[in-house]
A and B are shown apart, each in its own frame.
Chain A
Amino acid sequence: MRLEYFQLIDRIVELKLADRKIRSEATVPAESTIFEGHFPGYPLMPGVLMIEAMAQTSGWLLVAANNFKRMPFLAAVKEAKFRNFVTPGQRLALSASLVHEGSGYAVTEAKIMVDGKLACDANLTFRITDFPNPAMHEQMREVAKRIEFPMGALADG
């Protein structure tokens, strides 16, 4: 996890397209400039970044569901609850399930577990569009390699 670069997922652990579910993992860095402000003397992973981590996990599920041909963009966050503090060095187990796939949008439920306890959860809505440009499509494929996205799970590999 590199907070400053919005790299909030280290690895896709499991993608079950048939069940419309995904799991990922990430380790909160021991040090980050973000902790200098959040908070001085008591570093906590910001809730907004936990939402982003859940959105990225959901996003990869949606990228897979759209066979890597379309791109999800976060549109709404509902019922987000931060149930426990998340601190530097902790290992996050993230998961998301696809609740509904509409025309040009999708809804997911996502959560983060830490040490077997629910740290946060939320319902997320995404707009699904064509990739805005080829460069972004290519960049997403590069990110997919870094996080071990299982390309083989897609319909056309």
Chain B
Amino acid sequence: MSSTFDTVANIIAETCDIPRDTIKPESHAIDDLGIDSLDFLDIAFAIDKAFGIKLPLEQWTQEVNDGKATTEQYFVLKNLSARIDELVAAKGA
């Protein structure tokens, strides 16, 4: 069974045409991989479908804009994967 990170990395590689081997758990989706907000909508759509969740993008954006969170907390892929795992767990709870 593939990890959450692998699934996310595969989605990003396919959606944004980024070589899979350049996508690391430490990669920042925006700063390192250069994914813009429109491409991230496609990624969010694919993640929502793949995991049966709804990534709270608006809440995250608001928290970053308000200085309550950093983009690293949500957009570094290992952190994004952890957030996804939390959402999946919350759904099953």
Closest A residue, CB atoms, query B39? A76
Partner of A76, one of B38, B54, B57: B38
State the total of A-B contacts with C-beta under 8 angstroms.
35
Which of B6-14, B27-35, B40-48 lies at the binding interface? B40-48
Q: With A and B bound together, what is the CA distance between A76 and B48 in angstroms?
A: 17
CB distance from A63 to the nearest CB of B (A): 17
Q: With A and B bound together, what is the CA distance between A125 and B54 in angstroms?
A: 16
Determine whether the beta carbon of A100 is less than 8 Å from that of B49. Answer: yes
Asked if B56 lies at the interface with its beta carbon under 8 angstroms from chain A, I say yes
Interface residues on B, range: 10 to 19
CB distance from A109 to the nearest CB of B (A): 13
Q: With A and B bound together, what is the CA distance between A125 and B41 in angstroms?
A: 8
Determine whether the beta carbon of A127 is less than 8 Å from that of B41. Answer: yes
Asked if B59 lies at the interface with its beta carbon under 8 angstroms from chain A, I say yes
Q: With A and B bound together, what is the CA distance between A31 and B61 in angstroms?
A: 46
Closest A residue, CB atoms, query B41? A105
